[in-house]
Amino acid sequence: MSTGPGGETGFPALTAAAAEAAIPRRRRRVTRHGVVRALAPYALIAPTVLAVGAVLGYPLYLLGRLSFQQFGLAELILQQGPWIGLDNYTRLFHDRQFWTVLLRTFVFTFVNVGLTMVLGTLIALLLTRLGSFMRLLLTTGLVLVWATPVVVAVNIFRWMVDFEFGVLNWTLTELHVGDFLNKDWFADPTTGFAVITALARNDEAAALAAKLEAAMARQESRITFGWAVFPADGENALSLYRAADERLYARKLVRGQRAGRSLYTVGA
């Protein structure tokens, strides 16, 4: 039991505390020193926020703007593309390959992050059981791996899997896993360019493209061909390539797939 704000007795302790809280308190005086102290952390972090925002914000904005434009080789050379709205996203979300790659990305991320956490924890536990010299050696190796630039790491990886001099091919062959000499791990027969001469009409080029697609389909390779004919489609390489590129992607949409080969035809 306690007394109330007016001296009354018999008030429970909680009621008295609530009554005292209801009494308005004196406001603290806002001083210049207090304002400076309150804003100092934000002022210190502002340059970092602005720098990160500029470095990340502009590329994100540019990528978002480019996603609403059509860009082929010709548009990249001219550095301008026509505005097509949501057509890129419509084709993307109706492409089965996109969903396959998206699922593969999620699986890779899950496995990669999981292995990183598990192996990192195991290495940390190992460090507690090693002697001073081995702990220093292992820590130095981890720091060097972390500090290696991405460009250097990519070049090292390319050297490891090189089809002529790669250590991976040599190691697998020496371990009798198989014959991996001169094996190109990144060979992709579904990409490239073909040059066909002595075809003077578009209908001839279209018929040849259809025959080539049918022949590749029998080899279980879904390849799309585009074509351009000189001088009907242009009188220079850029205009001819642009016409071939447009036909290539138009046929991709019809066939419902995106991986393809560009066919560049020149009339004699």
Residues 14-41 pLDDT 10s:
454 554 555 555 556 667 777 888 888 8
The answer to whether position 120 is within a domain reads: yes
Indicate whether 170 and 241 sit together in one domain: no
pLDDT band at 8 (very low <50, low <70, confident <90, very high): low
Indicate whether 128 and 200 sit together in one domain: no
The answer to whether position 7 is within a domain reads: no
State yes or no: cis peptide before 231, omega within 30 of 0.
yes
Pick the range with the lowest mean pLDDT from 59-63, 137-141, 142-146, 192-196.
192-196
Q: Which of 125, 141, 174 marks a domain boundary?
A: 174
Indicate whether 97 and 128 sit together in one domain: yes
Q: Residue 167 sits in which domain range?
A: 87-174
The answer to whether position 179 is within a domain reads: no
Over residues 107-117, mean pLDDT:
93
- Distance, CA of 99 to CA of 87 (rounded, Å): 17
pLDDT band at 268 (very low <50, low <70, confident <90, very high): very low
Indicate whether 129 and 154 sit together in one domain: yes
Indicate whether 50 and 98 sit together in one domain: no
Query: Model-level pTM?
Result: 0.41
Q: Which of 78, 104, 135 marks a domain boundary?
A: 78
The answer to whether position 19 is within a domain reads: no
Total number of domains in the chain = 3
pLDDT at 264: 40
The answer to whether position 180 is within a domain reads: no
pLDDT band at 213 (very low <50, low <70, confident <90, very high): confident
Pick the range with the lowest mean pLDDT from 83-87, 99-103, 116-120.
83-87
Give whole-number Cα distances, 110 to 58, 78, 114, 124, 238, in Å.
Answer: 29, 40, 6, 21, 43
Residue 192 pLDDT more than 70? no
pLDDT band at 261 (very low <50, low <70, confident <90, very high): very low
- Determine the longest span between alpha carbons in the chain, in angstroms: 113
Q: Which two tokens stand for residue 126?
A: 């190992």
Pick the range with the lowest mean pLDDT from 11-15, 57-61, 177-181.
11-15
pLDDT at 173: 86
pLDDT at 92: 86
Indicate whether 69 and 94 sit together in one domain: no
Residue 265 pLDDT more than 50? no
Residue 197 pLDDT more than 90? no
Over residues 152-177, mean pLDDT:
84
185 and 163 in contact (C-beta within 8 Å)? Answer: yes
Residue 226 pLDDT more than 90? no
Q: 């020193």: which residue's tokens?
A: 33
Q: 């002529």: which residue's tokens?
A: 164
Q: Which of 78, 102, 135 marks a domain boundary?
A: 78
pLDDT at 118: 94
pLDDT at 201: 77
- Distance, CA of 167 to CA of 181 (rounded, Å): 10
* Higher per-residue confidence, 171 vs 178: 171
The answer to whether position 209 is within a domain reads: yes
The answer to whether position 234 is within a domain reads: yes
DSSP string covering the chain:
-B--TTS-S-B-HHHHHHHHHHSPPPPPP--HHHHHHHHHHHHHHHHHHHHHHHHHHHHHHHHHHHTTB---HHHHHHT---B-TTHHHHHHHT-HHHHHHHHHHHHHHHHHHHHHHHHHHHHHHHHTTS-HHHHHHHHHHHHHHHHS-HHHHHHHHHHHT-TTT-HHHHHHHHTTS---TT--TT--TT--EEEEES--SHHHHHHHHHHHHHHHHHTT---------TTTS-SSHHHHHHHHHHHHHHHHHHHT-----EEEEE--
The answer to whether position 168 is within a domain reads: yes
pLDDT at 114: 94
